[in-house]
Amino acid sequence: MTDLSHINSSGEVRMVDIGTKADTERVAVATGKVIMKPETLELIRSAGLKKGDVLAVARVAGIMAAKRTPDLIPLCHAILLNDVSIDFDLSARDSVGITAAARSTGKTGVEMEALVAASVAALTIYDMAKAVDRGMVIDDICLESKTGGKSGDYRRSK
């Protein structure tokens, strides 16, 4: 049981001690999408929803969420983020693609921050457009890549 990083020798949950790890540049990219009716996507594209600019609000929500990740995920460390970016792809007929990137120079990775940012951006899109399309589906939230740290680089194979 001691092979698990978040479990101590007594089998209890613990936070990983990162005190002796080296500071490195760390970047993580997560993606996801919100599938919707084509009419809903057109309303988002044209800023035609009553709640306002869906993508602007979702971008801010994703950035804010990344900064609050340790408040949401119990064993995440509070880290200083150098940058968080949220980008949207509106090229599909019936979905909004989301790409969230998080950057930090520190002792632990930013994968959870990127994943939380993508997830909350997707949830915000749902919230902003649910009045016209309650059947939207949040899908494919995943880590695409990460760099830095002892474990090295990762790139999702497709």
Closest CA to 153 of 31, 28, 32, 17: 28
CATH 3.30.70.640 fits 24-149, yes or no: yes
Q: Which H helix or E strand runs over 113?
A: helix 111-129
Q: What residues form DSSP beta bridges with 106?
A: 24
What are the tens digits of pLDDT across the range 107-153?
A: 888 999 999 999 999 999 999 999 999 999 999 999 999 999 888 89
Q: Which residue has the tokens 């599909």?
A: 92
Domain boundary assignment for the chain: 24-149
What are the tens digits of pLDDT across the range 47-94?
A: 999 999 999 999 999 999 999 999 999 889 999 999 999 999 999 999
Catalytic residue among 87, 127, 140, 153: 127
Task: Return d(Cα 115, Cα 101) in angstroms, integer.
Answer: 9
φ and ψ at residue 61, rounded to 5 degrees: -60, -40
Q: Which residue has the tokens 């790409």?
A: 99
Task: Return d(Cα 1, Cα 43) in angstroms, integer.
Answer: 52
What are the tens digits of pLDDT across the range 135-147?
A: 999 999 999 999 9
Q: Given this model, what pLDDT does residue 10 score?
A: 80
Task: Return d(Cα 29, Cα 35) in angstroms, integer.
Answer: 20
Q: Given this model, what pLDDT does residue 1 score?
A: 40
Is-contact 158 145, C-beta < 8 A?
no
Known active-site residue 71: no
